[in-house]
Amino acid sequence: MNPTIDDLIAQFKSNQQDRGVTLDTHQPHTLLLCCSDARSDPAIWIKTDLNELFIVRTPGNVIPPFDEQRPCGVIAGITYAIEKLPIKQCIVLNHSNCGGAEYLHSCHEPDTLPQLTSWMRLNGNRDKNPTLDPSQRTLINAYNNLILYPCIQKRRQLESLAIHALFLDIKQAAIYRYQPERDEFDHL
Ligand SMILES: [Zn+2]
């Protein structure tokens, strides 16, 4: 299916209905960081409604180390959500067969997407487990960067923010939770 813009607008109009939720104020309960991959849309997988999720999506779900001197959309999104919105939990969601993660961990000579390589490398390389697949390693690195953000640390000290790192197997429709203390993934 290759819908045109007119098809998409018609789809938009046909989908409008009384949703039964207030949209007067922005009140998401969850900050969700995930990949831009078209197969991993969290609102569809979880079936949430409007005004539930504040979503930051990027190729590969990179979360750069916090650096106030080098702001980017991810840092701005996390900071805004945590400081200004009624966020109670944060979910870092990566998925299987992630193109960004696989590109970074495979050899490319020449590198035809140096911008993607540079972007993915912002995640750093904190994970020490070579047995994990590239998508899981990306998740661990992103999670480890996130928990060092000052706004995240402040909220965690107040015990007012839960953080979860989840891995979605898109072919199996299975979900796994990363356990930082064991450096393992548990099937849920
Ligand atoms: Zn991806």
CA of 37 to the centre of ligand 1 (A): 5
Q: What percent of the chain has pLDDT over 90?
A: 67
Whole-number pLDDT of residue 13:
84
Backbone angles phi, psi at 161, to 5 degrees: -145, 125
Residue 19 has pLDDT above 70, yes or no: no
Q: What percent of the chain has pLDDT over 70?
A: 96
d(CA 75, CA 56): 10
d(CA 74, CA 59): 11
CA of 62 to the centre of ligand 1 (A): 10
d(CA 131, CA 163): 24
CATH architecture designation of domain 26-187: 3-Layer(aba) Sandwich (3.40)
CA of 157 to the centre of ligand 1 (A): 31
Predicted TM-score (pTM) above 0.95: no
Residue 139 has pLDDT above 70, yes or no: yes
Which residue has better confidence, 157 or 109?
157
CA of 87 to the centre of ligand 1 (A): 24
CA of 36 to the centre of ligand 1 (A): 6
d(CA 124, CA 137): 10
Backbone angles phi, psi at 142, to 5 degrees: -65, -45
Whole-number pLDDT of residue 18:
66
User: CB–CB of 163/156 below 8 Å?
Assistant: yes
